[in-house]
Amino acid sequence: MTVHHDPRSISKEPDTVVDADATVAGVGNRIRTLRGERNLTLQALAERTGLSSSMLSLVERGKTSPSIGTLVAISSALGVHMSDLFDDMHETFEEPVTRVEDQPVYVTAMGVKRRIAKTDNERGTELAINEYEPGTGSGVEPIHHPGYEYGVVLEGKLRVEVSGELYELKPGDCISYDSMLPHRIMNEGRKHVKAVWVNLDR
């Protein structure tokens, strides 16, 4: 997976970008470690996420670059947040304000950006700003994982598939669903889409 060398080509905000090319192997090791600590087989993790065992094996060995949707599904199934997969970017913020320059950003080569505004492990909440370039989405296939999600579209139109049903969201629209239901997020339009997404543990 390739990270845009200049993330400001997507956003003018002072982002802290996670270099996926440099960290994909570390993420794979972290996933394998967490899975081992939970005594989960690849097949068991596959059943929790809707991903194939072969795909998970490739991710753990650093042989493929996972999409944001894949990382969210894996981390949720392991009982952590996506930010926990990146040891060097996970911090505990004591202050009530998390400045934008301190919020890590994960950018895929396809043009999907996830800025993690806040991770609150104590309350089981992760708040993110997701941005989708035209023709991109959370992944090719629907995924599922433990938890619950809320999303609000800020700019553009977003299509969300939940259990085979398609929902088109325009700015201001909100969607919520059990994350164990197969779901997929897509920007099938010609314009940039920006949305706020909240992932809850439960």
pLDDT the model gives residue 86: 76
CA distance 68 to 137: 9
Average pLDDT by consecutive 10-residue portion of the chain (202 residues)?
35 49 76 93 93 92 84 91 71 74 82 90 92 92 93 97 97 97 95 96 82
Sheet holding 165-169, edge to edge: 165-169, 158-162, 183-186
Domain at 7-200: CATH code: 2.60.120.10
Phi and psi, residue 31, nearest 5° = -65, -45
pLDDT the model gives residue 162: 98
pTM: 0.75
CA distance 109 to 40: 30
Q: What are the structural domain ranges in the chain?
A: 7-200
Q: Is the dihedral of CA 177, 181, 187, 193 positive or negative?
A: positive
| Strand, helix or coil for residue 144 | coil
- Residue found by looking up tokens 């809850």 in the block: 200
pLDDT the model gives residue 175: 98
Q: How many Cα neighbours within 13 Å face the side chain of 184?
A: 18
Beta strand 112-120 pairing with 158-162: unpaired
pLDDT the model gives residue 115: 93
